[in-house]
Structure 1
Amino acid sequence: MKPTSRWLIKMKRKFWHQCDRKISKVILAMLLMCLVMRSLPYFAPIRAADITQNQLAMQFSDRNGLPLGTLLTRDQDHTAVVPLNQVSPQFIHAILAAEDGSFYQHGALDMTAVVRAIKEAIHAKRIVSGASTITMQLARMLDPSSRTFLGKVREIWLSWRLTAGMNKDDILSAYINRLPMGGNIYGVEAAARTYFSIPASDLNLAQASLLAAIPNNPTYFDPLQHWARLQQRQRYVLNRMVLDGYITRATAEQTYSEKVVFQSRQRGIIAAPHFLFWLSTQLPPQHSSPIRTTINRPLQQFVEAQVQQVLSSLAANNVHDAAALAIDNHTGEVLAYVGSPDYFNEFKLGRNDGVQALRQPGSTLKPFVYELALEKGLIRPNTILADVPAHYAIPGAKLYSPTDYTERFLGPVRVRVALANSLNVPAVRVLEKVGVQTFLERLHQLGFAHLNRSAEYYGLGLTLGSGEVSLWELARAYVTLARQGQATPLIPCTDEINRVSTPHSPISCTDAMNRVSTSHSPLPNRTTWQLITNMLSDSHARATAFGVDSVLSLPFATAVKTGTSSNFRDTWTVGFTSDYTVATWVGNFNGEPMRQVSGVTGAAPLWNRIMLHLHEHQEPADFLPPEGLVQLPICAISGLRPTPDCTSVVQEYFSPADKIAYDTQTDFNLPPEYDEWLARQQQTSIATNNFRILSPHNGDIFLLYPSAQTQQKLELKLAGTKSAPVEWWLNGQKLDSQSANTLFWHLRPGNWTLEARSGEMSDKVSFQVELAGMKTARRGFSIVDSKIRSDRP
C-alpha cells in the first residue's frame, strides 16, 4: 500500500474518531438536559392538596328543611366532588376507554400515542387524532392555555408536575371531578345528580357510557339538544370498552339499545334560582352544606306563579319581565325572592336578576324625603304645599319644570295628599327645602349604596327617581319604614344551621351578609316614621289619583307606595303591613317602554296578590298612631282651624307645640306662586283672604293689531272674592260686570290702571296696550283667540 493511501486512511479514522467524540458529547449533553428538565418537575410538584376544589356544590333548603336546589357553586357552575371509590366502576371504565385507555401504563405523556398521531398527521396532511392523556387534559383544566406550540409546552410542563406530586388515582379523581358535562355542570357526581337524580356510585353502564361521551365536546354532544350526536359518541365509547376488555360485544349492543332519559338541567333547582345564585356569591368559601335559607318554599312557588300570571295579563301592553321580594318585618328574613319570570329562558334574558338590577325607582323614594322634612321641622303634617307650575334653573341645561303624568295641578294640597297621590311638584319643593345633599346622605343611611354620584348629578329629580336603585335596596328601606325607623339588614339564611369556621374566627350567614351590606346608622324620631306610615295607609288621601277601591286598598291596614320611571320603562309597588314588606317591579329588561302601564296597573296587581296570600289565614295588627301627637280638625284647603267658609274639614295630626298656632291662626293667604294656577282655573271653591288681581299682571304690555281691534279681548281675573260684590274700575271709570271675579275687556291703546274693589278690600295693577309694530310686547305674552295666553316658563 502506498504511503499516501495509508496517510489518507489514518486521517479518515482520526476525523471519524473526533466526530464520534463530538456526537457523544452532544448526545450526552442532550441526555443530561433531558434528565435535568425531566427532574425539575420533582422540585415543584403539584400535590392533590394543592388543587383541592374549594368551590364545591352547595345544597340549599328552605326555612323548614324543604330542598330548594343543589350543585350550585360560587361561579355559577354545578360542581360536586366525590372520592374515586364513590364513583361507579362502569363510569371509570367508560371514561378511561374513551379518553385514555392506557392511562395506568404510561406517564404524563403517552409516547406511543404521540408517534401514532404524528404518523397519521404526516400521511393525511392534517391532524387526525390527538395524543392528549388524562393527565394533560387535567393540566388544561387547571390552567387553560392557547393551542399553540408554547401553549403545548406549558401543558406538558404542568403534566409533569402533576405526575411528580400525585399518583394515578389522585390524578384520575381530580379529572373526573372537573369533567365538563354540558351547560354549567362539572364533574361526574354533579352530572349524575342533575341528569338522573342519583349519585355517581349508582350509574349503570348505559348511563355511564353516555356521560363519558359528553366531555369530548360538551356543546356538540349536549344531551338535551343533540341526542343523536351523543348516541353516536356513546357507540364509540362502548366499542372502546369492548376493545379494552371491559365488556363484551353483546353487552355493548344491549347497552346501546337501552333507553335512557335525561332530566333537564333545571331539575337541579326546585325553586328560587336567582336567589340561590345570588346567595352563593355572597357566602365565604368555607361554608357548610346544606345551607338552610329563610325562603318559604310554598310562598316562593306561589310568587313565581303569580309573576307569570300577571305578566301574561299584561303581554298586550309590551310587558315581559317582573321581580318580587317578600320580607318578614320582625326579623328582616327574606321569605320569597323572584328575579325574573323564568330563570332558565335565556332567549328572554331570564338570568337577569330584577331584584339586584339597577333601575330608576320613580316616586318610591318620596316617603323618605317627606320623613326627613318632617323630622327637621321644615314641614308639618298640616303644611299646605303648592301643586302649581314650578320652574328651576339648572346650569348648562334647560329649565326643569316637574309635572305629573296627568299634566294637571291641584293647587294648594296638604302634605298627606301630596304624598299619598304621589304629586311631583310638591315633592320637588320639599326636596328643595331639605337639600339634595342632605337627602342623599339619608338615602345612604337607608342602604342605597348604588346612589354613589354627587348631589349635583342627581339634582332635584332625585326624589322623582333620577338615580338608580335595586329592588333589594328599596325593600330594605321600606322595612326600615315599617319598623318605624329601626334599620335592619335583610337576612337570607339562618345562623344556627349555617355557622362556618375559618382559621381565625367563626363566620355566620348573617355575618357574611353584614359584611356586604351598607352599614346602618340609627335613624331618629320614631314619630315621623309613624306619620309617614299613617299617610301611606290612608286610602282616602290617595283617592284623587288612585280611587278609594284600587288594588292598593286591602281589607287590612297596609301602607303602600307606587312608582313609575320616565317613559314607562319601570313600574314599582312597595308596601307593608305590621308583619310583612312586599316589593314588586314590572318592566322590561331590554329597556323597552311599556304601553299604558303605570305603577298601579303594572306592579301593584302582583303586590296585591302576594299581600293577600301572606295574610290569608291571619290579618295583621293595625299600625300604631304617631306617638305624642293629637288629631285636630282642619280645613282641607288651608290646613288651619276650620272657619265657616271652609267647605271641607278633615282630621290631621299636631304636636302639642303646634297647637297654640292652631288655636290662633285662621287667615289663609295664597302667595303669588299660585297666581298662574289660579288664573287658569275656570272656577274654584278656594276662598282666601288675599284679594288680588290675577290677570293682567302689573307692568304687562300687550300688542293690539289694527285689523282685529274689535276682536281682541283681555281677561280680567280676580282671586279672593268670596261672596261679596266686586267692582272693576279702569282709569277711574267703573266697568259693567256680570261676574264677580272675571270679565273680558276690549283692548284699546294706552296706559291703563285697573282696580278691583270689594267692600274694604281692593287691588290695583297697571298695564299698557300698544299698536302692533310700535313696540315689542313683554316677552312671553301673545294674543290667541281673543284671549291672553301666558307662555312664561
Structure 2
Amino acid sequence: MKGILRIKHAKTILAVLVICLAVRLLPYFAPVCAADIAQNQLAMQFSDRNNLPLGTLLTRDQEHTSVIPLNQVSPQFIQAILAAEDASFYQHGALDMKAVIRAMKEAIHAKRIVSGASTITMQLARMLDPVPRTFSGKMQEIWLSWRLVAGMNKDEILSAYINRLPMGGNIYGVEAAARTYFSIPASDLNLAQASFLAAIPNNPTYFNPYEHWERLKQRQKYVLNRMVLEGYISEAIAARTSSEKVVFQSRQQGIIAAPHFLFWLANQIPPTPLEKGGLVSSKEGLVPPKGGLPPFLRGARGDQSVIRTTINRPLQQFVEAQTQQVISSLAANNVHDAAALVIDNHTGEVLAYVGSPDYFNEAKLGRNDGVQALRQPGSTLKPFVYELALEKNLIRPNTILADVPARYAIPGAKLYSPTDYTESFLGPVRVRIALANSLNVPAVRVLEKVGVESFLERLHQLGFEHLNQTPEHYGLGLTLGSGEVSLWELARAYVIMARFGDAIPLVSTFSDSQISTDAINRVSTISNQKIWQLITNILSDNHARATAFGVDSVLNLPFPAAVKTGTSSNFRDTWTVGFTTDYTVATWVGNFNGEPMRQVSGVTGAAPLWNRIMLHLHEHQEPAAFPPPEGLIQLPICAISGLKPTPDCTSVVQEYFYPEDKNNYEAENKFDLPSEYDEWLAKQQRSHLISNNLRILSPHHGDIFLLYPGEAGQQKLEFKLAGNKSAPVEWWLNGEKLNTNSANSLFWNLRPGNWTLEARSGEMKDKVSFQVELASIKPRRRGFSISNSQTKVNHP
C-alpha cells in the first residue's frame, strides 16, 4: 500500500515538473525578437513651408522620443539605471527569484509591501503591454517577460528599455531626455546628469524636475548610493557628484514654433501598431507601416525624417507674439487664454496655428489647444442662417425684420426671450443691418423661418461635425451659439464663404498630391455664389455695422475685409472670424477653465488680435476688392420699409435687389408696421415709424376681456396710442368723448359690453372694437389670462 502511494506521489510530482517545464519552454515557441518591437521612424522632424525647422521629435501619440543604440549611451547612465532599477540584471533571467523571495519576506514581516521585485525585463514587458495591477495582470506580465528573454539577449532588452523609459511629461527614452533637459546627446551625459535622469523613471510625475526639485534631488542621492554599493563609484565621487550643480533647460528647448500644431499634426497620422507573435503593442511607440511614413508626411526631397508643413514660420512667430501681447493687455479683465488660425483662401493651407499663449506653461493649462477645443461660438454662425434663408427665398435682401421683444414657448422650460448685447431693440431693420450689427432677435426670427433641422443640416455640410445633437437639443438658440464648435471648424466654414460656396479642405502638409489631414468629405460645395457674395458684401460693410460697433472700430481695416464677431453666454468665449480675398483669420479669446471674463465682448476680446494679424498679412500688398453680388441690382429704398422711398421717408439707402423683384419695388410703396411692433412702439418717444398715422396699440381689434364678479372698478384696461399727432388727442368710446388730459395712454375701468374705441388728432384717427364679458369663475391668481379667442383678463 505504501509503495502504491509513493508511486502516486512520484507521478504527481513528475506531472507537476513536466507541466512547469512545458510552461517555461512555451515562450520559446513564441519569442518576441528585437525586430518585433523595433522603434522605427519614431522621430519626426518638422519644417515650415520654406524648409525652416519648426521643432522637435514627436510621435503620433505626442511622445517626445528618440531611439539610439546602446553603445551611444553614456556608460555612467547605464550604470546608474542598472544600480537604481535592477542591479543583477545581467545575472538573472526574466525574474529575479532572490528579489522575489526577499520582497515576500519583507512583506510578511511588515504586513505590507515594502519593496518590489520587478526586473528590467518585467518593466519592459509592462511598457509594451500595460496590464492592470492584478494577479492575472502579473501573470501576463511574467509571460511576456519570458517571451522577451526567449527572443532577445540582455543588451537588446536593455536597449529597448532605456529607449522607452518615461522621463517626465511626454518625454520617453534617455536620448530625448538628454536633449530636452540638457541640450546634449545621451552619449555626453556626465555622472551628475546621468544620476538625475536615472532617478526620474521611478515616478516621473512625483520626480518632475520642474515642479519637485527637492524630491528629485533626494532620489538622485539614492541612485548614487546604489552605485556605490554596486562598486561603480566611490563614496567620495558620490558626495562630490551630489553637490554638483545641474541646470535643467526649459521644456521649450527643441521646439522653435507652432508646438500645438506639431502635436496635433503628429496625432493625425493613422496608428499602425505591429502585431508579432500575438503581441499587439502600442505603448512602445507608433510605428509607421512598411515602406515608411505616408507620402503626405515626407519631406520635399522624399526624406522620411522631415515633414514639410504649410506653416509660415515668421508669420507663426508673429501670431504667437501678438497672442501673448493681447492676453497681457486683457489680464485685468480676467482673460488668460487665446487661440488663432490663419488660412490661405486659394489653397486651404494652414499658415499659422496658435493653440494657447504659451504651450509650455502647464500651470496656466498651456497645453490646451484652443484651435481644436469645443466652445460655444456666440453669433459667428449667424451668417450661415441668413445665407440659407436667402437661398430658400424666405427673406430677400430688402426684407425688413422686427428687432422687437419676442417670446418663444419651449416645452418644459421658461419662455425663451432673446435679447441683444446692448439689451435694447432697434425696431424695423433691414437684413443688412440685422446681420452686420449681429442682432439676436432678427436672427432667431430668420432661424424660425428656416427651421432648426434645415439649418443644422447646412452646418453639417459646412463641416461642423461636432454639432451632433438633435435639432430639439439646440432649438432656436442654435443661431446664437447654443452648440459647441471648434475654431478649426469655424475657420473652415468661413473659408467656404470666402470662396463663395466652393468648399476646400484645410491643408497642413506638402506632398506631390498635396494630401490633406482634413478629410475632404467633411465639407460640401454650396453653389449659391451670388448669395455668398451678398453675405460677404454685408459683412464687409463698415457703415452697416456702425450702430453696434461704431464707425472706427478694430473691425474696420484700410482694405476690404468681411468679419463677424461672437460672444458666448456669460462672457466665457469671444470670437472674431473674417477674411479678405486672400486670407481667412479666426481668433478666440477666453479662459480654458471656463471662468467668465469681465465685460469682454468679441469686439474687445478676439477682434484686436484679428486686427493685428490682418494688418500684418497685408502690410506689403492690399487685397483685391470683393466682387459685387453677381446678377443683383442696386436700388434706393426707404430704410424703414425696405420699399421704394416715399416723400415722407426720412432715411433713404441703397440696397441690392433680385431683378425679378423690380416690379414689386415699383408697385409697393405703402408701409405700416404690423402689430408685433406695438409693445416696442409704445416705449418709443418718436413714432414716425407708422407712416404718420395714429395707431391704437392697446387694446387690439377683436380682443375679448373677462370681468369677474365683485371686481367692478378694480379691473382696468390701458388704452395705448402711438403716432405723430398734428393736434391734441381725443379719446372716444362708443361715440362718447372721454375726459382726459393724457395723450398717449389712459386707464379705463372695465364694464361689460361691446365697445368701439377711437382716437383722433386733427385729421388723423384710428379705431378698434373689443368686448368685455362677465366671467363665471373667479381667477385663482391675478394676471391669469385665457388665450383662446383673444380672451384676456387685465389688472392694473
TM-score by length of 1: 0.85
Residues of 1 paired with 2:4 and 2:92: CA distance?
38
1:528: Cα distance to partner?
A: 0.6
1:450: Cα distance to partner?
A: 1.2
User: What is the CA deviation profile of residues 659-686 of structure 1, one whole-angstrom value per residue up to 9, with x for unaligned ones?
Assistant: 2222232212322222332233222232
Match of 1:293 in 2: 309
Match of 1:11 in 2: none
Match of 1:464 in 2: 480
Tell me which moved more, 212-221 or 477-486: 212-221
Kept after mapping to 2: 8 A contact 1:749/1:769: yes
Cα gap change, 1:727 to 1:588, in 2 (>3 Å): same
User: What is the CA deviation profile of residues 740-774 of structure 1, one whole-angstrom value per residue up to 9, with x for unaligned ones?
Assistant: x8465876967543334678875322356899999
Residues of 1 paired with 2:234 and 2:747: CA distance?
111
User: What is the CA deviation profile of residues 418-471 of structure 1, one whole-angstrom value per residue up to 9, with x for unaligned ones?
Assistant: 111111121112112222221111111111111112222222221122222112
Counterpart AA for 1:522: T
Equivalent runs, 1:204-223 vs 2, <5 Å? 204-223=190-209
Match of 1:135 in 2: 121
Kept after mapping to 1: 8 A contact 2:567/2:602: yes
Kept after mapping to 1: 8 A contact 2:725/2:761: no
Kept after mapping to 2: 8 A contact 1:641/1:662: yes
1:108 maps to which of 94, 111, 124:
94
Q: Secondary structure at the match of 2:493?
A: helix
Match of 1:319 in 2: 335
Tell me which moved more, 596-605 or 128-137: 128-137
Cα gap change, 1:446 to 1:531, in 2 (>3 Å): same
Match of 2:369 in 1: 353
Q: Secondary structure at the match of 2:757?
A: strand
Say yes or no: does 1:673 pair with 2:676.
Answer: yes
Cα gap change, 1:220 to 1:594, in 2 (>3 Å): closer
Residues of 1 paired with 2:752 and 2:6: CA distance?
127
1:645 maps to which of 645, 648, 671:
648
Residues of 1 paired with 2:200 and 2:568: CA distance?
47
2:38 maps to which of 22, 27, 52:
52
Say yes or no: does 1:619 pair with 2:605.
Answer: no
1:534: Cα distance to partner?
A: 0.8
1:623: Cα distance to partner?
A: 1.5
Kept after mapping to 2: 8 A contact 1:98/1:237: yes
1:377 maps to which of 351, 373, 393:
393
Give the greater-gyration-radius structure (CA): 1
Match of 1:483 in 2: 499
Residues of 2 paired with 1:32 and 1:713: CA distance?
103
Residues of 1 paired with 2:137 and 2:496: CA distance?
55
Kept after mapping to 2: 8 A contact 1:366/1:464: yes
Match of 2:586 in 1: 583
Cα gap change, 1:401 to 1:156, in 2 (>3 Å): closer
2:166 maps to which of 168, 180, 197:
180
Kept after mapping to 2: 8 A contact 1:565/1:571: yes
Counterpart AA for 1:324: A
Kept after mapping to 1: 8 A contact 2:707/2:715: no
Residues of 2 paired with 1:223 and 1:735: CA distance?
88
Residues of 2 paired with 1:198 and 1:42: CA distance?
40
Say yes or no: does 1:399 pair with 2:415.
Answer: yes
User: What is the CA deviation profile of residues 33-83 of structure 1, one whole-angstrom value per residue up to 9, with x for unaligned ones?
Assistant: 332222111112112233234682433233333333323333333222223
Match of 2:176 in 1: 190
Match of 1:548 in 2: 551
Match of 2:150 in 1: 164
1:93: Cα distance to partner?
A: 3.4
Kept after mapping to 1: 8 A contact 2:694/2:725: no
1:688 maps to which of 688, 691, 694:
691
Residues of 1 paired with 2:500 and 2:794: CA distance?
45
Equivalent runs, 1:111-130 vs 2, <5 Å? 111-114=97-100, 129-130=115-116
Kept after mapping to 2: 8 A contact 1:753/1:765: yes
Cα gap change, 1:197 to 1:736, in 2 (>3 Å): same
Match of 2:530 in 1: 527
Counterpart AA for 1:46: V
Kept after mapping to 2: 8 A contact 1:56/1:81: yes
Structure 1, unpaired ranges of 5+: 1-13, 500-507, 783-788
Residues of 2 paired with 1:609 and 1:492: CA distance?
23
Kept after mapping to 2: 8 A contact 1:569/1:593: yes
Kept after mapping to 1: 8 A contact 2:707/2:793: no
Say yes or no: does 1:386 pair with 2:402.
Answer: yes
Cα gap change, 1:30 to 1:616, in 2 (>3 Å): same
Tell me which moved more, 256-265 or 325-334: 256-265
Residues of 2 paired with 1:239 and 1:462: CA distance?
64
Cα gap change, 1:171 to 1:396, in 2 (>3 Å): same
Q: Secondary structure at the match of 1:39?
A: helix
1:96: Cα distance to partner?
A: 3.0
1:477: Cα distance to partner?
A: 1.0
Match of 2:301 in 1: none
Kept after mapping to 1: 8 A contact 2:340/2:588: yes
1:532: Cα distance to partner?
A: 0.7
Q: Secondary structure at the match of 1:686?
A: helix
Q: Secondary structure at the match of 2:518?
A: helix
Residues of 2 paired with 1:29 and 1:775: CA distance?
95
Counterpart AA for 1:566: S
Residues of 2 paired with 1:139 and 1:425: CA distance?
62
Say yes or no: does 1:659 pair with 2:675.
Answer: no
Match of 1:41 in 2: 27
TM-score by length of 2: 0.85
Match of 1:71 in 2: 57
Kept after mapping to 1: 8 A contact 2:42/2:66: yes
Match of 1:440 in 2: 456
Q: Secondary structure at the match of 2:634?
A: strand
Match of 1:513 in 2: 518
Cα gap change, 1:130 to 1:673, in 2 (>3 Å): closer
Cα gap change, 1:94 to 1:422, in 2 (>3 Å): same
Equivalent runs, 1:261-340 vs 2, <5 Å? 261-285=247-271, 286=288, 287=293, 288-340=304-356
1:20: Cα distance to partner?
A: 7.3
Residues of 2 paired with 1:121 and 1:519: CA distance?
58
Cα gap change, 1:42 to 1:406, in 2 (>3 Å): same
1:476: Cα distance to partner?
A: 1.1
1:61 maps to which of 38, 41, 47:
47
Match of 2:439 in 1: 423
Cα gap change, 1:664 to 1:790, in 2 (>3 Å): farther
Counterpart AA for 1:474: L
Q: Secondary structure at the match of 1:631?
A: strand
1:127: Cα distance to partner?
A: 5.9
Residues of 2 paired with 1:120 and 1:375: CA distance?
79
Kept after mapping to 1: 8 A contact 2:567/2:573: yes
Kept after mapping to 1: 8 A contact 2:191/2:241: yes
Match of 2:465 in 1: 449
Q: Secondary structure at the match of 1:263?
A: coil
Counterpart AA for 1:672: S
1:118: Cα distance to partner?
A: 5.8
How many aligned positions are there? 757
2:211 maps to which of 196, 220, 225:
225
